[in-house]
Amino acid sequence: MTNKFVAFFATPNGQATSAVAALLATSSALLAKYLPNSLLVEQTREFIQLFKDGLPVPVSAETIKKIDQVKSDLKLDKDVANRIPTEKAFTVFGFDVLHIGSATFKTGALLGIPINFSYKSSISEADKKKILVGQQTVHWSSPEGLALESSLILSDSAQKYAIAREMAKANTHHVALQTGLNGVSVFAYYYVTYAFNRRANMFARPLKLRVTLYSLLGSIVFTTWLFLKDFTTYHWEEKGDEKAGSISEEYAQGALEFYSKILQRNLAMRSLLGDEGPKLYTSSGNDRETFRTKHVPFVVLRDRAALRCESFKKSKEPEVPTSS
């Protein structure tokens, strides 16, 4: 039965079936990234939105004003600003600000604002009860609990920087680029295996040899796809950080605070999660990664923000006249 099935793909009908399957796989790879960030962006929001009593948690009026202020500070073109509608900003589940969609598409981008942007000088007891770490309640009076609470409270400057960074990232071609990368990678795998089959007459070779070759080619294509995906993500994150952090000294200070608080939060989580903590976070507070670098390390972003702050301070210092 297996031999007949394998032999089928050596026939013209089998090769046509492979081509159709490759076309469907390529289309699926394209749509998997494109649809949630374009035509289905509203539906995507519902999956990651924070709800309370069955209703979406609204973004505070104060945060809405911040979003409009950030748009002005970023000096976005009117068309771009309209494609990141302030009124459609939503409260996202979790504590990370994010965006879905792209301002380069007509469907636009939506900002996801974490609930901690509404926290002031402390977290209410009601909100503390809702925060779970590893499915466990937090001992807020412990050193780790106090550090976690402090890390979730951000100044207006830090919040404005985070919003500006997401707007800057939304106004790039990252969705289109990664959509194309997904499709090209799937098609490349099909084309390379097809070329090997034709030139090396692989259908006449033992099945184990073909499986080994297909696995090797698949590994090469997959590794290349991972590298390019991480490389482009890294690039857009750097670009977003540079754009937002360079607006003014306030935004530079906000960036420094924002990344310092993320590192503080991760270190608190590292302790609170017990044995699982070191598996997720390094001793410096970065996300623990193996052979991949999925994102710009938070320590790197914090240090860049510190240098940016120093640069702004130096630019304000009066020049000391030199004697002739």
Q: Render pLDDT for 253-304 as a digit per residue (tens, 0 to 9).
A: 999 999 999 999 999 999 999 999 999 999 999 999 888 888 999 999 999 9
Interhelix angle 156-170/249-272, nearest 10 degrees: 100
Q: What is the mean pLDDT of the chain?
A: 90
Beta strand extents in the chain (DSSP E only): 51-52, 55-56, 90-92, 98-101, 109-114, 132-133, 136-137
Q: What is the pTM of this model?
A: 0.90
* Residue boundaries of the structural domains of the chain: 2-36+177-231
Q: Is the pLDDT of residue 81 over 60?
A: yes
pLDDT of residue 183: 93
pLDDT of residue 21: 75
CA distance 237 to 248: 19
List pLDDT tens digits, range 116-127. Answer: 999 988 899 988
More confident residue, 171 or 8: 171
Q: Is the pLDDT of residue 3 over 70?
A: no
pLDDT of residue 20: 79
Whether 175 and 33 have beta carbons less than 8 Å apart is answered as yes
List pLDDT tens digits, range 127-154. Answer: 899 999 988 899 999 999 999 999 999 9
List pLDDT tens digits, range 28-55. Answer: 888 989 999 999 999 999 999 999 989 9
Q: Is the pLDDT of residue 237 over 70?
A: yes
pLDDT of residue 291: 81
What share of the chain has pLDDT > 70, as a percent? 91
pLDDT confidence tier of residue 213, bands split at 50, 70 and 90 = confident
pLDDT (mean) for 233-248: 95
Instruction: Tokens for 182, please give them.
Output: 């997904």
pLDDT confidence tier of residue 10, bands split at 50, 70 and 90 = low
CA distance 50 to 41: 16
Determine if residue 75 is left, alpha or beta; phi over 0 gives left, psi from -120 to 50 gives alpha, anything else beta: left
Instruction: Tokens for 36, please give them.
Output: 């949630």
